[in-house]
Structure 1
Amino acid sequence: MKDCSMEVMEFSSCSQSGRCETSDKLRVNINGSVFEIDKSTVTENCEYFRALFQSGMRECRQEEIQLQSVGALGFLVLLQVLHGERPMLDSDQIVEAIECTAFLQVPLLTKHLISIISSENCVLMYHTAATYGVWELSHHSALFIRDMYAELKEDVHTLPRKLVEYVESLRPSSYMAVCSHSPSSELLHDIQRTVCFLDEEQNEWRVFTHLPPCTSTTMAGVAVLDNKLYIIGGVHDVSKRVVEGGFCYNSNDNSWSTICGPQQLRYDFTLIGLEGCLYALGGKSNMKVLSSVEHFRVSKGSWGFISPLPCPTASVVSTIAMNRIFICLWRGEGATDIHEYVTEEDRWILVTTLIRQHSYGLYMVAYRDNLYVMRNGPCDDFLLCVMDCYNLTLGQWTAVPGQYGNSKGSLFTAVVRGDSVFTLSRHVTTEYTVEDNRWKVKRQMKGFGRIGSIYTFLMRLPKATASLMENCPGLTTKQTVRDLSVCPRLSSECSDNI
């Protein structure tokens, strides 16, 4: 790592060269290291500076102020984040960055720290954030630790007892799956219309809840946001008649409710949940491929159009990495473009292009600052999956060694939890560990045993779930959620809350 004073000089030089030419400047002195900052940027993003400049105190009129309670290294990280960078941090930087966001009250820096939590730094993040009172970061670190508790238990038990107890009080993420189903009726109740979870201790797929009869998961949008499952749209049958609304499942009170659907009726689209919003990307309407994108802010309960996709696309390949939305758009001749949606600016930007010939299928999953793009092998190897990895920090592609999957399954339903990647097929559920940019089989468990398209995701389920549910194949138990068998079609007849 470079000397801290050198880093400060380089950043100051960069600032002086024109990052904030139109705004007033302020010098910040931290133990002899001087930073030139833009007043408007720090006022907008830091509660400390906002209060300082609105206080009328003598310091707010000075050209240089002294900061005693933060380190130069942490303040440098703060400035990098405020200028749109997303640096990966070592232990010293993490500690000082947490100290900095605690003292200066910088939500954007806290958000970045949450986005880079990993198995190497989660315990440090958790302890330091708890010490400095950065509760949001502390909680997210604890959730990450809970998902990898078996591997991290020895390190966790070096922490104060209260911190250990808090981690143990949390619910771990469960690997979940639901198949493609059209709406049913009370007379033709389909016992297969269920949401299931993997009981890893017993090596069984078990039913968690039933789908409401008027819900469709056929060509629907399925996503998890704030530990709630959302199923939007979908079609009734081969006529492609679209279900006009959506459903939300809350595991905390074991209930379903309805929400309104997007303004543009669509099917075969992608649904993404991020930071209190659902995003409906592309899809089809009346057999026409769409480029439009809508977002649903849960707190407001309404949909609105945002910047459209770069081109019309159905079944958009997507993932979330470091709290950012990425999509793959295949444009033929072996070229796959990766775009990022910049939420603050409401625009799509081209990140990189992968040039690879592939025969069939495309999927993408994120692990830390890596995007893994998966495709079938060439021609006669189409049942095998090959991968390429794009590192967002370095801006480099790497071919992942080996081929994955076989005639009994593939990686096109991959979900990441901690350092593990879960995939499944009818025959086998496989857990991989990611080591040195290669996926290694950790264990194999029972397959899902259902036919049709499968949606997979993670949710945190109530602790007593396993003892209440039955195995997937022989479901005979009564529905464990409120009775929705009399639910009418979701055009205007369904109530907003069931």
Structure 2
Amino acid sequence: MSARCRDSEDGSRCDSADERDLPCCADGLASARLTIVVGDAHFSEEKRFLVQSCDYFRALYRSGMKECRQDEIHLKSLRARGFLVALAVLRGETPVLDADDIVEAIECAAFLQVAPLTKHLVHLVDSDNCLLMFHTAAIFGLMDLYRAAALFIRDAYADMEAEVEKSLPAELVSYVESLTPSSFVAVGAHVTCGVDETVHAASRTVCYLDEEANVWKVLTDLPPEASTSMAGVTVLDNKLYIVGGVHGLHRQVVDSCFCYCVATNTWSRISSPAQLRCNLSLVGSDGRLYAIGGEYDRKSMSSVEAYDVETGRWEFAAHLPRPAAGAACTKAMGRVFACLWKPMETTEIYEYVSRTDEWRLVTTLIRHQSYGHCMVGHRDKLYVVRNGPSDDFLRCLMDRYDLTSGQWSSLPGHFGNSKGSLFTAVVRGDSVLTLNRTATLEFAVDGETWKPRRQMKGFPRSGSVWTFLLRLPDARTLP
């Protein structure tokens, strides 16, 4: 398929041999290189790489202007450090940025419209840089980052209020305060419900914790056909998704999948994966759901399917290195990780790299008679919660993996007691929320430790529990 751009300034026309939506109007784009001058620095890059990666260069080579045929262009509005960061991100790297890097990277992302750089900046938002990210994104009009940083600040507002009011202009403070903070939400493990099972149906609820009143309240009822028993449950873009699960005495796999929209308080069906599965791990990232492993016909699977929320279609992704059911999975810095174990001593952590559609081994942890129950990500750290010695199953120990340094460390103490253990955990800002029937516990992630912060009412359900965060409507409209 070929395409033409409009006439260039000298009256000539530039033919393009594009691939799919690749625009260009420079002869020999496939092999040509372009020198970009930013300040005193010179960068030499392939034109095709720039056009495929960056809206600015894509628009430039659609324009038909004389720059289409130049071998060198000058970007006078940028600084070299920001452009260098942009190139690193476009090549698939995940650089850690200091304050100066952040400002120049935001400037570059806004000027050149580099979507992958904006996404990387969103993934880097934390309590140390959120105010800088928010204010700078407001200055340069980088709206995706502006909103992401504001939402982070809103969730951590109780800890940051004084600093926010001191550091930000009044209009930005007002915007943050207008946002809805995340609520801690939970649902128990329930099988499908028949029409006449009114008693059973009454307990099939998704609940949220009213932290001010310290009470669990009902958010919504599960659809009768939905099962959360051995299902995949996750949140993506403030919508709750349920995939798979089982029903009946023989644990038949459910073929109905559901989405709950908080904004409209409605449930809808979504298509099912090509391979029905239960006891799967479900992770949402960048507009896609990943159904990872699981079981069918009582056999563990290595297959992985990805659901595109925009198109409503499932497609197979790269298989796991080996079959896994109920694998501990999480996200950190926008990256998807799966924890696979070889009972009883070896735990391997793999990252799914969407750009190349592959599972890449990140690290291995060896602990005697132990395997991972739960994994959560906070900043550039992965926390693997595992059982203690075989004679003390409820004694939860924790190991931390630093993605930047590549080092493991063990957190002091243990996290299982009469009040519960960390078999389910959710990160909100610099806090981790976990619960059982007895108590909801909040820990502050502080350096080398998780420090108990406060205790709230436990979740009144037995069995497995799914926990997640949702931004709910105004509390006055909720039950």
Partners in 2 of 1:75 and 1:325 — Cα distance?
Answer: 26
Partners in 2 of 1:124 and 1:38 — Cα distance?
Answer: 33
The residue number in structure 2 matching 1:187 is: 196
Q: Is the 8 A contact 1:336 1:354 kept in 2?
A: yes
Q: Is the 8 A contact 1:359 1:382 kept in 2?
A: no
The residue number in structure 2 matching 1:213 is: 224
The residue number in structure 1 matching 2:462 is: 451
The residue number in structure 2 matching 1:171 is: 180
Amino acid at match of 2:397: V
Partners in 1 of 2:390 and 2:340 — Cα distance?
Answer: 21
Amino acid at match of 1:433: A
Higher relative contact order at CA 8 Å, sep ≥6: structure 1 or structure 2? 1
Alignment of 1:212-361 (within 5 A): 212-332=223-343, 334-359=345-370, 361=372
Q: Is the 8 A contact 1:123 1:145 kept in 2?
A: yes
Give the drift of 1:262.
1.3
Q: Is the 8 A contact 2:39 2:78 kept in 1?
A: no
The residue number in structure 1 matching 2:100 is: 92
Q: Is the 8 A contact 1:307 1:347 kept in 2?
A: yes
The residue number in structure 1 matching 2:82 is: 74
Q: Is the 8 A contact 1:363 1:374 kept in 2?
A: yes
The residue number in structure 2 matching 1:142 is: 150
Give the drift of 1:57.
3.4
SS of match in other structure, 1:365: strand
Amino acid at match of 2:309: V
The match for 1:377 among 362, 383, 388 is 388
Please state if 1:37 is matched with 2:45.
Answer: yes
The match for 2:162 among 154, 157, 162 is 154
Amino acid at match of 1:91: A
The residue number in structure 2 matching 1:13 is: none
The residue number in structure 2 matching 1:131 is: 139
SS of match in other structure, 2:78: coil
Amino acid at match of 1:416: V
Deviations 1:460-487 (A, max 9, x none): 101125x743xxxxxxxxxxxxxxxxxx
Give the drift of 1:42.
1.8
**How many residues are matched?**
447
- Unaligned stretches of 5+ residues in structure 1: 1-21, 470-498
Please state if 1:388 is matched with 2:417.
Answer: no
Partners in 1 of 2:119 and 2:260 — Cα distance?
Answer: 26
Q: After superposing the two structures, state which structure 1 stretch, 265-274 or 110-119, moved more.
A: 265-274
Q: Is the 8 A contact 2:347 2:372 kept in 1?
A: no
Partners in 2 of 1:125 and 1:450 — Cα distance?
Answer: 40
Q: Is the 8 A contact 2:122 2:145 kept in 1?
A: yes
Q: Is the 8 A contact 1:101 1:109 kept in 2?
A: yes
SS of match in other structure, 1:407: coil
Partners in 2 of 1:323 and 1:359 — Cα distance?
Answer: 28
The match for 2:375 among 357, 361, 364 is 364
Partners in 1 of 2:162 and 2:33 — Cα distance?
Answer: 48
Quote the RMSD (CA, aligned, Å): 1.7
SS of match in other structure, 1:381: coil
Amino acid at match of 2:191: S
Deviations 1:319-345 (A, max 9, x none): 011111100110235111111111121
Q: TM-score, normalised by structure 2?
A: 0.90
Partners in 2 of 1:38 and 1:74 — Cα distance?
Answer: 19
Alignment of 1:46-61 (within 5 A): 46-61=54-69
Amino acid at match of 1:455: W
Q: Is the 8 A contact 2:345 2:370 kept in 1?
A: no
Partners in 2 of 1:52 and 1:262 — Cα distance?
Answer: 40
Q: After superposing the two structures, state which structure 1 stretch, 185-194 or 33-42, moved more.
A: 33-42
Partners in 2 of 1:318 and 1:404 — Cα distance?
Answer: 19
Partners in 1 of 2:378 and 2:410 — Cα distance?
Answer: 15
The residue number in structure 2 matching 1:121 is: 129
Give the drift of 1:361.
5.0
The residue number in structure 2 matching 1:480 is: none
Please state if 1:83 is matched with 2:83.
Answer: no
C-alpha distance 27-437 of structure 1, shift in aligned 2 (>3 A): farther
